[in-house]
Structures are given as C-alpha cells and as structure tokens.
Structure 1
C-alpha cells in the first residue's frame, strides 16, 4: 500500500470516530507502529489532524463542535492523570461529591479509592458505570444524552436542584478570562450551572490546552471556582490570571508533554 493511500485511510478512520490510537491504526492497516507514527507526523505537518499522546484526533473545530468521549479520551492523558492525583487530595472521606461529565472527571473517578466511602452524583454514564462496578454509591441524573455521553436538560437540572453536595468537580471545554468556563453544548451549560449551584465548593479540572478555548455557552466566570486544578503546561500569563481569579490554583507537574 502506498503512503498516500495509507494516510487517506488513516484520515477516514480518525474522522469516522473523532480519534484513533496508533495501535488501532497499525492493526487496521497491518503495518508497524513506527509506520503509523511517521504517517501521523506527515498528516499533522499538513494540518489535517491533531497529534495527541498515543494517537491523533480530528483537526480543531469551531466553538459549537462537541467531540465524542472517545475522541477526548486520547487527549492530554498524562496531564489528566496528574490533575486527578492532585484533586484526590481535596476530598474528605464520607463526602457527597459531584462529578460532571468529561474525560478529566472520568480519570478522577477511576482514581477514587473505595476507602473514601463517598456518595458520587454524576451526569456521566461512563463515570456511573466505572464507579458502580466498584461498589461506590452513585446517583446518576437522568436527561438527554449528548455526543460526549453527558446527560443534560431539564430532567438532569431538576435532579441536581434537589441535592446538596460538599464538593463539585467540574470538567470544562474551555476557560478564558472574558468568557469564563465554557462548553459547546447549551443544555450541558445549563446542567453544569446546576452542578455549580448544588455544591458548597467548586473545583474546576482543566488541563493547559483548555486555556483560551471558548465554547458556545458560558457555565460560570473564572471567579466562581474555589479551586482550579491544571497542569504545568499552563502559560505563565494564564497562571497569573487564574491565581487572581480563584481562591486557590493547583498546578500539577507533568514531566513530559504529550508526544509520540
């Protein structure tokens, strides 16, 4: 198979699913991982894909674009793990916590030890499934399913309005000094605002790539966050703004940037 044909099939696979891993593409095309990595380098240089740790995603899209859970799951993997480790230290055993839908909050859910004896409220089917298998007490809101597998809308909002949470962990599509925390989905913004209102304290989990990214709808201003947890890739100027906006900024150290 010629390189151009192989790269065409790689583009098709990535566009069909929103993202693809190196190992998956190597199996699909029956070539080595090294060949796929060279192809991804070439496609990224042409501006046709975005390379991420372990694979690639479709090229960045407008403020209304809403990537699927799988597409987001291969982005900034190491940063999300580091952020989750820092977020764990904020949780008091026996608490009732909220986890909004998203891959960073999903990463945190996977790191929660059973010994914390938590009650977790979430609008993410992925988080509910993950924690339910481990015996954690989970309350899953109802609602309409989004492309990123969040449950949103009036039913989700009504569920959250009757609850009182000690701590809410909010994942966001983007954060900006003027737009605040944003999402591309209007109904998800409404649901996330209900999460914010239900919590005594708000912790926003956002890796450095979320800075200056603006989704269609605002969730809350930066100043509404009690704590923002990000990673060491955050620009110096952004760090200063976030330190001034939130009560506390926690920066998780990531030894290496996503590359491969």
Structure 2
C-alpha cells in the first residue's frame, strides 16, 4: 500500500469509529507506531483529522468539544448540509423576518434562498456578505467577531437582538441530546443562540444526523425549543416528534 492510500485509509478508519489509538492503527496497517504518528501529524496538518494524545479523533467528534474553524468544517457532510438547507430555504415566505445563525449549514442555507422579498438578520459575517451580494435585505448584529466562525457575539449582539421579533429562524449546533438538549462549544455564542431562539415564532435547528446524540460543553436550549431538521432520523430517535427528516 502506497503512502497516500494509507493516509486515506487512516482517515476512513478514524471517521468510521470516531477515534483510533496509535497501537490500533499500527496493528491494522502492519506498520510501526512511529510511522503512524508521522502519518497522524500529516493528516492533522492537512485538516483531515485531529491528532490527540495516543491517537486521533475525527473532525466531527472534535467539533463537539471545540469550535472548528470555517475551513475545518467546510468539507464535512456537504451533501447532507445541502439537502437540509435546501428544504429549510423552501420554508421562507415573502413576509418573513428571518434570523440566520452562524455555521456552515446555515451558510449553505443562504445559497439556496429563493425568496427575495423576505428580510434577514444574522450574526454571521459570511452569511451577511452572501445575502448582501444577492441584493437581499439584511441586518448584521453588532458585537465581537469570533475568528473561528466569523460569528458576532457579546453585549452589542444581545442588545441588537432585543429590538427584533422574528417570524422564522435557523440555527446550528455542535450536538443535539435527549438529555441535555441543544449544545455548542462556547458560552458567548450560546447566549446569542438562546436569545434569538426565544424571539422567534418558528425556530428550526439544522443538523445532520451525526450530531444527534452528541453533547457539546455549553447548553443553549432544551430539545423542545426548536424543530430539528436533519437528513436522516436514526431508529433510536424515531419517537422524538421535534426531530424531522427532510
């Protein structure tokens, strides 16, 4: 097996299992642990997985614990994000005042929006720019910019939100849990998510199926606060009325 094939197989193994140790990978591929460590260094530098002490975890699992950068998340679950965001965009009507959260799934939503008569408010610099380029009506929250996600957070963002009552809104999350509800990686962003959801008539969370059952460090709302739109409902979530496959 050539080196490139081995690197691809390591990524597949880690993605399939969520994590793998250096000894496990060395035994599986019949090579030394030192070679595996060098491979993990390369894959971590390339943004294909996350090297941790003793092994590696997939980017999606690391997303639960910390806020991945936009670049790290851009190629994760792209087909699932497109499917979810396309459906979400179809829910927007001409008279809606729509809130759009930061995150790559919500950013994908912007590309599928066909309703040009609605008005939009967002805490995402990326989504705001994309909406403005298309000539749509968009308001950007004030506040501090989070470099990893280009999201606006803090007192200024909260103060701006207090002026609005949204008819419809869309959010992202790091994890969706039966026990803990909707979770993210950072408290300031959690505050903005919680307040914006509370001020929205029809709130929807956009999350691919891999986020169901995962728990991030910060809870921002109970599960019943939103309708979760996902690409696939796992069997153990089939009884949850607020989780819907699209």
Query: What is the RMSD of the two structures over their aligned residues, measured on CA atoms?
Result: 2.2
Q: Report the count of equivalent residues.
A: 207
Q: Does 1:45 align with 2:8?
A: no
The answer for the alignment partner of 2:234 in structure 1 is 235
1:239 CA displacement: 2.9
For residues 235 and 65 of structure 2, the distance between their equivalents in structure 1, rounded to whole angstroms, comes to 28
The answer for the alignment partner of 1:30 in structure 2 is none
The answer for the alignment partner of 1:145 in structure 2 is 145
**Alignment gaps of 5+ in structure 1:** 4-34, 253-260
User: Secondary structure of 1:116's partner?
Assistant: coil
**Alignment gaps of 5+ in structure 2:** 15-19, 21-39, 51-56
State the TM-score, normalized to the length of structure 1.
0.73
For residues 175 and 118 of structure 1, the distance between their equivalents in structure 2, rounded to whole angstroms, comes to 29
**CA distance 1:135–1:116, shift in 2 (3 Å):** closer
The answer for the alignment partner of 1:21 in structure 2 is none
User: Secondary structure of 1:163's partner?
Assistant: coil
Counterpart contact for 2:64–2:175, Cα < 8 Å: no
1:134 CA displacement: 0.7
1:204 CA displacement: 1.0
Q: Does 1:200 align with 2:226?
A: no
Counterparts in 2 of 1:179-194, with a 5 A limit?
A: 179-194=180-195
The answer for the alignment partner of 1:75 in structure 2 is 76
**CA distance 1:84–1:43, shift in 2 (3 Å):** closer
For residues 142 and 49 of structure 2, the distance between their equivalents in structure 1, rounded to whole angstroms, comes to 29
The answer for the alignment partner of 2:129 in structure 1 is 129
**CA distance 1:239–1:56, shift in 2 (3 Å):** farther
**CA distance 1:201–1:43, shift in 2 (3 Å):** closer
**CA distance 1:215–1:89, shift in 2 (3 Å):** same
Farther-moved stretch of structure 1 (188-197 vs 58-67)? 58-67
1:110 CA displacement: 0.9
Counterpart contact for 1:98–1:195, Cα < 8 Å: yes
For residues 43 and 91 of structure 1, the distance between their equivalents in structure 2, rounded to whole angstroms, comes to 38
Q: Does 1:56 align with 2:24?
A: no
Counterparts in 2 of 1:151-190, with a 5 A limit?
A: 151-190=152-191
The answer for the alignment partner of 1:251 in structure 2 is 245
For residues 72 and 129 of structure 1, the distance between their equivalents in structure 2, rounded to whole angstroms, comes to 19
1:57 CA displacement: 3.8
**CA distance 1:218–1:192, shift in 2 (3 Å):** same
**CA distance 1:116–1:133, shift in 2 (3 Å):** closer
Counterpart contact for 1:86–1:250, Cα < 8 Å: no
